[in-house]
């Protein structure tokens, strides 16, 4: 999960997990079946303790249901905590903060000219993971949710086994088993120089060059991170543009800054073969290009973790990427079995998984009135600089013939950005020309993933309370990055006539 990452912040879910919900009577979400037990061990059993599973378990437990969970890894937290969001963002912070310090003129004048090792940069990651695991364990403990260790497999729609041993029955289930990097046939991932997005964090030595195959969220994040370390980077994109779901201007800005930093981007390419050698890895592309770098990172796609769930004992079928199809309430074709998070595919964000898990838990509790903003999930891409957006893009609004206008604030004009030296970036507001309703917020630059939430909050105000004039009439602290909203709003209003 990217950030991922793959990208929600597990810290952002901590407060929500402790929020209280009303108690609701336990109702069966489906008509009685012939093989339904007379008595269940649990009202809800969750498979997987990542953000999605945690969200479902905590929501249901707070609502009065008897909940149990299964986790096959030795620690709870899922891929988000152990291989994806948390360790990769911890490494990113170590890289950016260290390199920023080393580039500081004062540090250079004092004679600091060191090159940190991968081991040094990763040193604090395990401590952060340990704190996350301990915190999340306390949620299960306080809510009396037992954790069963081992692989859960369905025997029928009401029964699972744990590692082919203990049988557990439940009225409902939530599948939250996450995903893993897709590994195509013909690529030797056992080679010490060939990595995927899970194993790259185990890399011991800093290479001088790397090829990143796949220019999605994970690929661009790692390409940016490694380039910040001074590593030569080839970024291979199988599509025409980087991150095509983003606003075109943000895509152009990202492409420009990656190239400006020295990343070589190659679009519309496809792998022919990969050869791991003693001194590097050779990538042969179908276009005829041949690239050789010290190491190789495969970052092209994810595979849902459903191949060992016993789905053959149910009517549920996973697609070719191991993903489960669900409806708008996150129910599978078996009504008492839900699925959330990366195992159902896009948006494959930790933040989205947690919200989806809570939504499934609410549905079990009889709350089906759209109580969560599932349509309002912001992107968070931790390149350097960051990218975050919510709402519509210019492309979408143009296709729908919506009369909109644009307001922009360049970070280089903000006093706070000038003070911190983070002048690269922009905030872009899209709003309706007539109603002045905010239609989209797009941010590229330092702290973009934090800045976007101000616009997100106003966008979701009812009726006339959602207007770009809010930012013109509101006093922002000075100097702050949030001031960009006032600058962008004035810029946009001045375009109207």
How far apart CA 144 and CA 139 sit, in angstroms, is 9
299 and 194 Cβ atoms separated by less than 8 Å:
no
Among 31-40, 363-372, 403-412, the minimum mean pLDDT is found in: 31-40
Provide the H-helix boundaries in 29-83.
Answer: 51-62, 78-82
Q: Examine domains 3-180+304-364 and 385-493 and report if their fold is the same.
A: no
Q: For residue 17, what pLDDT band results from cuts at 50, 70 and 90? A: very low
323 and 344 Cβ atoms separated by less than 8 Å:
yes
The answer, yes or no, to whether the previous bond of 385 is cis (omega within 30 of 0) is: yes
Among 102-106, 135-139, 414-418, 492-496, the minimum mean pLDDT is found in: 102-106
pLDDT of 101 strictly over 90: no
Q: In the numeric block, which tokens belong to residue 69?
A: 């969970």
Among 30-39, 47-56, 124-133, 256-265, the minimum mean pLDDT is found in: 30-39
How far apart CA 439 and CA 455 sit, in angstroms, is 10
Reduced to 3 states, what is the DSSP secondary structure of residue 169? strand
Which CATH number among 3.50.50.60, 3.65.10.10, 3.40.50.2300, 3.40.50.620 corresponds to the domain 194-300?
3.50.50.60
Mean per-residue pLDDT for 185-193? 95
pLDDT of 110 strictly over 70: no
pLDDT of residue 19: 37
**Phi/psi zone of residue 240: left (φ > 0), alpha (ψ -120 to 50 degrees), beta?**
alpha
Tens-digit pLDDT profile for residues 276-321: 999 999 999 999 999 999 999 999 999 999 999 999 999 999 999 9
How far apart CA 253 and CA 368 sit, in angstroms, is 40
- Residues with Cβ within 8 Å of 103's Cβ and at least 6 positions away in sequence, in order, are none
357 and 56 Cβ atoms separated by less than 8 Å:
yes
pLDDT of residue 328: 87
Please tell me which residue, 372 or 157, carries the higher pLDDT value. Answer: 157
pLDDT of residue 33: 58
Mean per-residue pLDDT for 239-263? 95
Superfamily of domain 3-180+304-364: FAD/NAD(P)-binding domain (3.50.50.60)
Q: Where are the domains of the chain?
A: 3-180+304-364, 194-300, 385-493
Please tell me which residue, 6 or 426, carries the higher pLDDT value. Answer: 426
pLDDT of residue 112: 64
pLDDT of residue 368: 73
Mean per-residue pLDDT for 479-492? 96
User: Class of 385-493 per CATH?
Assistant: alpha beta
């Amino acid at each position: 999960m990217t950030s991922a990452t793959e990208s929600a912040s597990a810290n952002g879910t901590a407060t929500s997990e402790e929020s209280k919900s009303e108690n609701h009577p336990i109702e069966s979400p489906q008509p009685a079946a012939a093989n339904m037990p007379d008595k269940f061990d649990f009202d809800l059993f969750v498979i997987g303790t990542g953000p999605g599973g945690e969200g479902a378990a905590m929501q249901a437990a707070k609502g009065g249901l008897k909940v149990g969970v299964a986790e096959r890894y030795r620690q709870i937290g899922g891929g988000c905590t152990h291989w994806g969001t948390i360790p990769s963002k911890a490494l990113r912070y170590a890289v950016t903060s260290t390199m920023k310090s080393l580039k500081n003129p004062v540090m250079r004048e004092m004679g600091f000219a060191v090159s940190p090792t991968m081991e040094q940069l990763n040193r604090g990651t395990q401590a952060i993971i340990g704190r996350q695991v301990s915190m999340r364990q306390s949620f299960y403990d306080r809510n009396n949710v037992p954790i069963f260790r081992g692989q859960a497999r369905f025997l029928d729609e009401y029964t699972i086994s744990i590692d082919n041993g203990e049988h557990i029955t439940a009225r409902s289930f939530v599948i939250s088993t996450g995903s893993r990097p897709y590994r195509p046939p013909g690529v030797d991932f056992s080679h010490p120089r060939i990595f995927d997005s899970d194993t790259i964090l185990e890399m011991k030595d800093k290479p001088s060059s790397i090829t990143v195959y796949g220019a999605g969220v994970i690929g661009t994040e790692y390409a940016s991170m490694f380039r910040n370390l001074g590593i030569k980077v080839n970024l291979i994109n199988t599509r025409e543009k980087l991150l095509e779901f983003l606003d075109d201007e943000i895509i152009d800005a990202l492409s420009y800054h990656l190239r400006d930093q020295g990343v070589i981007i190659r679009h519309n390419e496809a792998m022919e073969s990969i050869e791991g050698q003693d001194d590097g890895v050779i990538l042969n592309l179908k276009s005829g290009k041949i690239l050789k770098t010290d190491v190789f990172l495969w970052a092209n796609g994810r595979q849902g973790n459903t191949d060992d769930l016993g789905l053959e004992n149910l009517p549920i079928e996973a697609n070719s990427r191991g993903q489960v199809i669900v409806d708008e309430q996150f129910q599978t074709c078996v009504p008492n079995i839900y699925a959330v998070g990366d195992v159902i595919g896009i948006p494959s964000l930790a933040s989205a998984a947690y919200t989806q898990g809570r939504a499934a838990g609410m549905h079990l509790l009889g709350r089906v009135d759209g109580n969560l903003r599932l349509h309002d999930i912001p992107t968070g891409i931790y390149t350097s600089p960051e990218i975050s957006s919510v709402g519509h893009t210019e492309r979408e609004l143009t296709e729908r013939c919506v009369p909109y206008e644009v307001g922009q604030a360049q970070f280089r004009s903000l006093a706070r950005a000038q003070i911190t030296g983070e002048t690269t970036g922009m905030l872009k507001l899209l709003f309706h020309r007539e109603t002045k309703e905010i239609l989209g917020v797009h941010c590229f630059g330092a702290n973009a993933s934090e800045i976007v939430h101000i616009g997100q909050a106003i966008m979701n105000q009812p009726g006339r309370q959602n207007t770009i004039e809010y930012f013109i009439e509101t006093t922002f602290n000075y100097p702050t990055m949030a001031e960009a909203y006032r600058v962008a709003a004035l810029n946009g209003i001045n375009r109207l006539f």
